[in-house]
Structure 1
Amino acid sequence: ASGQGLGLHALPLEAMQSVEPRITEAVFGVLGARKSAESKTSFGGTAPEQVRAQARAWREKLA
């Protein structure tokens, strides 16, 4: 990808599978900065709902 000046999200599935055959179409659900951040849903993760929860918690602590 970097040799072609492309991000991973721009590579065709077949190109990814030539490196790792177990890669499926599901990979496109997490590639890219926004999708990657949104996928981090564990406590303290980067998903928007987690960020909002942390902001609420800190507002309450600081009030």
Structure 2
Amino acid sequence: NREALAVAAGSGFSTATDLADWLVRELGMPFRDAHHITGTLVAMAEQRGCDLPDLSLEDMQSTHAGITADVFGVLGVENSVNSRVSYGGTAPAQVRAQIERWKTRL
């Protein structure tokens, strides 16, 4: 059931690390600061009973003014999966490549 899997994959703040990575990459902040901001946003979402993508841009900016609407591009599970394009990553092209590799080896 793809729909149930998608819902389950998106629960439990599974993209929190993607958020911290985005803060480091896009805003140039040290990871320890990104980790702190991410933790603050996770706590905010928990208090409101929602997931990170459900927070508003204003909520995000209340923790750091430099956060832009681009942050929402990294918060979806599909975007998270697709962003892992290195060898052995979770992006569909990488998964297909590994399947083909192992078909020939097995």
TM-score tier, shorter chain, comes to 0.7 to 0.9
Which residue of the partner structure matches residue 22 of structure 1?
A: 66
Which residue of 12, 32, 51 maps to 2:95?
A: 51
Q: Percent identity?
A: 52
Q: How many angstroms does 1:28 deviate by?
A: 1.1
Gaps of 5+ in 2: 1-44
Give per-residue Cα distances to partners, 1:2-34, cap 9 Å, x unaligned: 111111111111101111222221111111222
Comparing 46-55 with 18-27, which one deviates more in the overlay? 18-27
TM-score (norm 1): 0.85
**RMSD of the alignment, in Å?**
1.1
**Bigger fraction of residues in helix:** 2
TM-score (norm 2): 0.54
Give the total of aligned pairs.
62
Q: Does 1:11 align with 2:52?
A: no
Tell me the secondary structure at the aligned position of residue 30 of structure 1.
Answer: helix
Question: Quick one: which amino acid aligns to residue 51 of structure 2?
Answer: G
Structure whose CA Rg is larger: 1
1:35: how far off? 1.5
Runs of 4+ in structure 1 deviating by more than 2 angstroms, as ranges, are: none
Cα distance in 2 for residues equivalent to 1:55 and 1:21: 43
